A = this chain, B = another copy of it.
Amino acid sequence: MPTEHIVKSFDQELEKLKRTIVQMGGLAESQLEASIQAIVRRDADLATRVMQADDRLDAYESQIDVDAVRLLALRQPMAGDLREIVAALKIASDLERIGDYAANLSKRAIALAQVPAVRPVSTIPRMGRLVQEIIKDVLDAYTERDVQKALDAWGRDEEVDDLYTSLFRETLTYMMEDPRNITPCTHLLFVAKNIERIGDHATNIAETIHFLVEGEPISGRRPKGDSSSFEVVEPDDEGAAEGKGEA
């Protein structure tokens, strides 16, 4: 029965594509976790390993692109199967970007290990854990085709944005207190921004899962990004001059 054979083989290829996405997601998750560890432990060796492993995520994305385009060309899928393949392309692109941000976090970890530690760094593991949970949940939602789980994760990105905005204010205050804090605090601001962007990519994946399962985009908009872009923090002249100020 050649038709059944072809169908079975298509399903197998589709399953393989899904498995590759899940594996890639697991790697992106562990890259994020390791890069946060590298920052917290001031571990430049770990950071270097994360940067070196980023190629593997790029390779996963290329593989998924090739497999997806081949499936589109040879199998001419319809409706659900077509969405499955388009979703794989989109999710792979978001995971690759998450990997890029993790590699960038590791570059910052190397710079941060060379300068004195500053207190706002303590918020980073909290932000990191939150984003890791969101990624884990969207990957589970992908495996289980669980739209509600994807939507829950999508909504939680707001907590990340809130943490980022409060860290932004706190870090600016530290910079104003002592010019020696400026270099570490600047890297820290970009660290926090990168984690916040990783959260954005995780919500993109949640949106793709909604489209995949329901066949239409999420209705309603999540407010994008953080509000720190508008923040103006005035230096407290006294604190700045004397190197103190509220902690």
Q: Which of A12-20, A25-33, A102-110 participates in binding chain B?
A: A102-110
Bin chain A's interface residue count. Answer: 35 or more
In the assembled complex, which residues on chain B have CB atoms less than 8 Å from the CB atom of A114? 232
Contact of A111 among B100, B180, B225, B230 (CB under 8 A): B230
In the assembled complex, which residues on chain B have CB atoms less than 8 Å from the CB atom of A186? 172, 175, 186, 189
A104→B69 contact, CB < 8 A: no
Q: In the complex, what distance in Å separates the CA atom of A240 from the CA atom of B177? A: 12
B115→A180 contact, CB < 8 A: no
Q: Give, as a whole number of angstroms, the nearest-CB distance from A83 to chain B.
A: 7
**Could you give 13 example pairs across A and B, Cβ below 8 Å?**
A89-B89, A93-B93, A100-B224, A100-B225, A107-B230, A115-B232, A175-B182, A176-B179, A179-B235, A182-B235, A183-B233, A183-B234, A183-B235
